[in-house]
Amino acid sequence: MNEYPQPSRLGTVICTDSGPNVMEFSFVVEGGPNDIIARRGEFVSVVTESGIVIARIQDLTRTNRYYQHAEAVREYQSRGEPLRAIFPTDRWQYTVASARVLGLWSDGHTVRPYFAVSPGATVRSADEDTLGRFLRLDSQDGLDLGTVAYQNLAFTPSIDRLVSKHLAILAMSGAGKSYFVSVLLEEILKRTPKQGRLSAVVVDVHGEYTYLKDAGPESLGMKPKDFDVEVVKGSHFQIPVQALSAEGIGALVADMSSIQIRDLRRVIANARTHLEGSYSLGELATLIREDETISRNTREALTSWLVSLDETGLFGKEGVPDIKRLIRPGRLTIIDLSDFISLKKKQIVVSHLASELLYLRRRNEIPPFLFVLEEAHQFCPESRHELALPKGRIETIAREGRKFYALLCLISQRPVKLSTTVLSQCSNQAILRCTNPYDLDHIGKSSEGIDRSSLDAITTLEIGEALFVGETVSVPTFVKIRHRHLEPTGLPRSLSEAIKRSDK
């Protein structure tokens, strides 16, 4: 145990009514009455014969025996004299910290704690190296996402731990979700072939990530040839009609009856044999119109559906882009849907993209990928009443994708509206500031590793601070997300700047 470095002393373990016990202990904090040397949320350690007990400060209580008797305080108050004018009250103020045990670090492994620390034992800060290993960070090949709160320790989770079982990023609006995603994308882009490069596909609903395409790779310390970002505009997106089944088209329009689907299936089979491979929705509509065997009502309904789908401009004879050629190791593909106002159009694109990606990945025709979906609650909502074409597809990726590394990164500012099936499949969550009680409750229920006090702390997080729970780290960990290296240029930073510019 002697090799363990001696980080700074914080205090001494004391006896309380319930402790020290296996899971908790309290200690009197060292230093002068007004010094703040221990902070809530900070990791601490106690060296014992059997290993290093790693704990986290849950709360701090200040006490002073001179102020314990309300009557005495009231008496002096009524005389108009502060107590401290008569007694050396300052000297009697001290702080008691209560800490929750997280684990025992013994011979390079984390062991479940099985004994209580001794009263009188010295409590120290946690040594950064040990803490990094205890949290299972990867200091060599990990993703540099920020620093562990209150510690001088880089938060560098391994890519395996962070995304290999899906990641959900949840928080209220403006808490820093998209900013965190930019940081994550920078880290994914920066990886070398030796480290293994992941392909990322971002559904960019608001056009927030397209700046990455024009950003200089030098800011990431990369050579231009290694920096690979592609932007696909939503308006260029085209879904090949011949790839659509009758059920597929049925899913795109509400209320198609089974009889109508059956008739449509027949027409599609007909089109596949007679129209030589590729055909448009318009051609399909003509075939239906001319088919006398279908009842007039069905003909009218089917053609009007097909015409309105055709009007979205999302369907054509060829698939654009060619997803198989687009997805490459190390490439970031941004699907910019900011031109689309209609939610339905966005849903159609996401639905097609999700199913293509899963299909191609299953057949090993594209490399492992991370599918980043902003506003995930709009694409896979919990409620059955909301129209959500891609829901089934995304749920399938959530359930089955991890086996062959078709991975999801879902972002939502309304976790309560996000499908619980999908959320519960995300083994990792990064939770940023969130104050809505319904959302907090939902987060608490859907993530196993989160305890009450961490949940309470989420409401007090600042912008850019995140709580990581799940398999990323061994215990829930608060992290200050780093600044991004690449910044969007030309965007107004605030409302006042935007109105000044538009008023010129």
Q: In 3D, which of 495, 498, 496, 488 has the Cα closest to residue 204?
A: 488
The 3-state DSSP class for residue 400 equals helix
Residue closer to ligand ATP, measured from CB, 171 or 353: 171
Distance CA 348, CA 330 (A): 26
In whole angstroms, how close is the CB of 436 to ligand ATP at the nearest point? 12
Cα–Cα separations (whole angstroms), residue 433 to 206, 367, 416, 419, 428: 21, 34, 15, 20, 17
Residue closer to ligand ATP, measured from CB, 34 or 173: 173
Distance from the Cα of residue 209 to its chain's centroid: 16
Instruction: Kindly identify the residues of this chain, within the stretch 146-185, that bind Mg ion according to CB under 5 A.
Output: 177-178
Does 481 engage in binding with ligand ATP (CB under 6 A)? yes
- What DSSP state is assigned to residue 150? T
The 3-state DSSP class for residue 24 equals strand
The mark string for 172-211 relative to ligand ATP (x by CB under 6 A, - otherwise) is -xxxxxxx--------------------------------
In whole angstroms, how close is the CB of 178 to ligand ATP at the nearest point? 3
In whole angstroms, how close is the CB of 187 to Mg ion at the nearest point? 18
Phi, psi angle pair for 28, to nearest 5°:
-85, 130
Cα–Cα separations (whole angstroms), residue 214 to 209, 218, 235, 245: 10, 12, 20, 39
Residue closer to ligand ATP, measured from CB, 130 or 413: 413
Residue closer to ligand ATP, measured from CB, 178 or 270: 178
Q: In 3D, which of 326, 388, 387 has the Cα closest to residue 356?
A: 326
Does 278 engage in binding with ligand ATP (CB under 6 A)? no
Binding partner of 378, given ligand ATP, Mg ion, none, CB within 5-8 angstroms per partner class? none
In whole angstroms, how close is the CB of 461 to Mg ion at the nearest point? 16
Evaluate whether 326 touches 367 at the Cβ level (below 8 Å). no
In whole angstroms, how close is the CB of 487 to ligand ATP at the nearest point? 10
Distance CA 13, CA 10 (A): 10
Q: In 3D, which of 254, 248, 239, 241 has the Cα closest to residue 304?
A: 254
The 3-state DSSP class for residue 67 equals helix
In whole angstroms, how close is the CB of 443 to ligand ATP at the nearest point? 15
Residue closer to ligand ATP, measured from CB, 68 or 152: 152
Residue type, 381: P
Binding partner of 320, given ligand ATP, Mg ion, none, CB within 5-8 angstroms per partner class? none
Binding partner of 413, given ligand ATP, Mg ion, none, CB within 5-8 angstroms per partner class? ligand ATP
In whole angstroms, how close is the CB of 179 to ligand ATP at the nearest point? 3
Does 48 engage in binding with Mg ion (CB under 5 A)? no
Residues forming contacts to Mg ion in the complex (CB under 5 A) are 177-178
Residues forming contacts to ligand ATP in the complex (CB under 6 A) are 171, 173-179, 413, 463-464, 481, 483
